[in-house]
């Protein structure tokens, strides 16, 4: 695999980076990548506790995400604090993501697939996942690349255009690439264990992760893969 230098994971909620691509982020961090997570929301609706408030849940979930990111080896976590469950691929969100792409200048951006509405017959994809995927792809191309888009970022903030080299789209049903995360599966599980407010049964979660081996690997030597649709831009 080519050397990875700067990576930005852009997702909707705390725990999305770990569930969608935690093994890949752990692998890249171990190989020396500088990784930034951007979370559009702080997951302020993700609780069934009748005593929970939006403000308290924001604090809890941001702490959990920072702890999980530290387990993976992620350098920085940025929260945009859009309302959970209400995310839309607006120009405002695209502007915020464009600013961060121009500021952090990632080689690779990882996000969600905006085209997936359901998985099989038992699961509907969260609308925030679709929204962040759409806004991220639009920020990567053409917005962050072309200087006259949000020209005030260059004029007032000194942020020059930036061309991302690759986009890794997670949670997709049209994957083109598998990343072998076998050596980093337990790191992914440790990171997921930090999301105590969201995962009721930690051992069941760990078992699901460990049982999800690659179908082509033998039972006595299981391999674990994360799947992406990868877009590589011509320079």
* Per-residue model confidence as pLDDT tens digits over 57-101: 999 999 999 999 999 999 999 999 999 999 999 999 999 999 999
Residue numbers of the domain that contains 228: 6-232
Alpha-carbon span 225 to 181, nearest angstrom? 6
Number of H helices, E strands in the chain: 7, 9
Look at the chain and report how many structural domains it folds into: 1
- Determine the average pLDDT of the residues in 21-35: 97
pLDDT of residue 234: 86
43 backbone φψ class: left, alpha, beta (φ>0; ψ -120 to 50): left
The answer to whether position 150 is within a domain reads yes
The answer to whether position 119 is within a domain reads yes
Give the residues across from 33 on adjacent strands: none
- The model's confidence at residue 23, banded by pLDDT at 50, 70 and 90, is very high
The answer to whether position 124 is within a domain reads yes
Kindly tell me if the per-residue pLDDT of 127 is higher than 90: yes
* Per-residue model confidence as pLDDT tens digits over 39-58: 999 999 999 889 989 999 99
Residue 74 belongs to domain with CATH number = 3.40.50.10320
Q: Beta-carbon neighbour count of residue 90 at 10 Å? A: 12
Alpha-carbon span 2 to 7, nearest angstrom? 13
Decide which of 79 and 220 is more confident. Answer: 79
pLDDT of residue 109: 98
- Determine the average pLDDT of the residues in 214-225: 92
The answer to whether position 1 is within a domain reads no
Mean confidence (pLDDT) of the chain? 96
The answer to whether position 12 is within a domain reads yes
The reply to whether the predicted model has a pTM over 0.85 is yes
């Amino acid at each position: 695999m080519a050397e990875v230098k700067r990576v930005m994971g852009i997702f909707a909620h705390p725990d999305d980076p770990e569930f969608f691509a935690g093994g890949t982020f752990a692998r890249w961090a171990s190989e020396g990548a500088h990784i930034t997570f951007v979370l559009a929301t702080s997951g302020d609706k993700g609780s069934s506790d009748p005593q929970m408030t939006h403000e308290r849940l924001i604090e809890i979930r941001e702490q959990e995400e920072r702890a999980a990111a530290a387990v993976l080896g992620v350098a920085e976590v940025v929260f945009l604090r859009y309302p959970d469950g209400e995310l839309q691929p607006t120009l405002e969100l695209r502007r915020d993501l464009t600013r961060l792409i121009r500021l952090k200048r990632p080689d690779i951006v990882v996000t969600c697939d905006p085209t997936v509405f359901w998985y099989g017959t038992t699961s509907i994809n969260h609308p925030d996942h679709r929204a962040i995927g759409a806004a991220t792809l639009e920020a990567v191309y053409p917005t962050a690349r072309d200087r006259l888009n949000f020209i005030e970022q260059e004029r007032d903030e000194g942020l020059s255009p930036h061309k991302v080299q690759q986009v890794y789209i997670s949670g997709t049903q049209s994957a083109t690439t598998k990343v072998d995360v076998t050596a980093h599966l337990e790191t992914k599980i440790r990171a997921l264990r930090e999301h105590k407010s969201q995962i009721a049964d930690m051992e069941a979660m760990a078992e699901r992760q460990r049982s999800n081996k690659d179908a082509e690997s033998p039972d006595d030597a299981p391999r674990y893969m994360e799947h992406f649709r990868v877009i590589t831009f011509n320079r």
